[in-house]
Amino acid sequence: MLEGVRHLWVAKGRKAEHVDLVVGRPDDATILSMILGRSGKLRAPTLRTGDTLVVGYNADVLADVLL
Burial class (CB in 10 A: 0-12, 13-18, 19+), 62: middle
Domain ranges of the chain: 7-66
pLDDT for res 2? 85
Per-residue pLDDT of 29-66, as tens digits, reads 999 999 998 899 999 999 999 999 999 999 999 899 88
Dist. CA 40–CA 27, nearest whole Å? 18
Predicted pLDDT of residue 67: 83
| Total-model pTM | 0.87
**Is 20 or 12 the better-scoring residue by pLDDT?**
20
Report pLDDT for 13: 79
